């Protein structure tokens, strides 16, 4: 059974656990549930949409469905990562580095943070740009090995990975639907809410 299968195909026991997590108070002790399930719960609560894929072919199919659903066939895709552009070069996407022209921000990330369902990014994805400068429509390509429990754990892994040159502009994508509540959340660092799709590839 693949990672995440139990979330969608599991029996009553998993369903009860998920409902318990969603109805617990913010200050109650955290339940010991798997990091993948915790991320899924929080990510969906934030308004994100994700497509879970077991192969890169499914990633391409999911990307095509997202583009078709939103009528983005002629849209310009902002991509600041040359390696990402190379990997999706055969998909007839119109890439640009102009934020004024782009309708969609297509990016990778550093980590997926389970505790609050956020997506940790830095200068490897954003260069020097701030979140409010990129389009409100975002597609993130990530893998299950990028899941971490907390932002602190993610930061430690970034420091370990980039020992000689730690990236700058570290921030999180968290709010994927605009509400009065998240507009006042100081953790967004002044960024606007985004509409976000996550293409999640199993690599464990």
d(CA 166, CA 162): 5
Confidence band for 59, pLDDT divided at 50, 70 and 90: very high
Residue 183 placed within a domain: yes
Residues 6+ apart with CB under 8 A from 63: 88, 91, 139, 199
Q: How confident is the model at residue 33 (pLDDT cuts 50, 70, 90)?
A: confident
Sheet containing 147-148, strands listed edge to edge, beginning at the edge strand earlier in sequence: 147-148, 111-113, 118-121, 171-173
pLDDT digits (tens, 9 = 90+) for 82-111: 999 999 999 999 999 999 999 999 999 999
Taking the model in full, what pTM does it have? Answer: 0.80
Q: What is the pLDDT of residue 69?
A: 95
Residue 163 confidence (pLDDT): 86
In the prediction, which pLDDT does 176 show? 80
User: Residue 132: inside a domain, yes or no?
Assistant: yes
Residue at 101 is within a domain? yes
State pLDDT tens for residues 123-173.
999 999 999 999 999 999 999 999 999 999 999 999 999 988 899 999 999
User: What confidence score (pLDDT) does residue 63 get?
Assistant: 98
User: Residues 193-201: what's their mean pLDDT?
Assistant: 90
In a domain, 13, yes or no: yes
Look at residue 13 in the predicted model and tell me its pLDDT. 38
What band does 32 get if pLDDT is binned at 50, 70 and 90?
confident
Judge whether residue 8 has pLDDT over 90: no
In a domain, 152, yes or no: yes
Report the candidate in 148, 144, 181, 191 with the shortest Cα–Cα distance to residue 50.
Answer: 144
Query: Does any domain span residue 73?
Result: yes
Answer whether residue 124 is part of any domain.
yes
* 29 falls within a domain: no
Residues forming beta bridges with residue 111, ordered by sequence position: 120
Please report, for the domain that includes residue 17, its CATH number.
3.40.50.10420
pLDDT band at 188 (very low <50, low <70, confident <90, very high): very low
Q: How high is the pLDDT of residue 6?
A: 40
Domain range for 190 is 5-24+34-201
Share of the chain above pLDDT 90, in %: 68
Q: Which residues lie below 8 Å from residue 79, measured CB to CB, with a gap of 6+?
A: 85, 95, 96, 97, 105, 106, 107
DSSP string, 117-136: TEEEE-HHHHTT--GGGS-S
Total domains in the fold of the chain: 1
């Amino acid at each position: 059974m693949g990672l995440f299968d139990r979330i969608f195909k599991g029996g009553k026991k998993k369903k009860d656990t998920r409902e318990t997590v969603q109805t617990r108070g913010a200050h109650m002790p955290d339940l010991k549930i798997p990091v993948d399930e915790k991320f899924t719960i929080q990510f969906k609560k934030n308004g994100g949409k994700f497509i879970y894929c077991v192969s890169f072919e499914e990633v391409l199919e999911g990307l095509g469905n997202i583009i078709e659903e939103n009528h983005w066939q002629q849209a310009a895709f902002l991509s600041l990562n040359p390696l990402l552009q190379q990997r999706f070069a055969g998909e007839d996407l119109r890439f640009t580095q102009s934020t004024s022209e782009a309708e969609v921000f297509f990016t990778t990330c550093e980590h997926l943070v389970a505790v609050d369902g956020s997506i940790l990014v830095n200068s490897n994805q954003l260069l020097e740009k701030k979140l409010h400068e990129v389009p409100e429509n975002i597609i993130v390509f990530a893998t299950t090995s990028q899941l971490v429990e907390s932002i602190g754990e993610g930061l430690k892994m970034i420091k370990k990975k980039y020992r000689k040159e730690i990236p700058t502009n570290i921030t999180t994508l968290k709010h994927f639907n605009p509400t009065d509540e998240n507009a006042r959340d100081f953790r967004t660092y002044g960024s606007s809410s985004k509409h976000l799709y996550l293409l999640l590839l199993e690599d464990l």
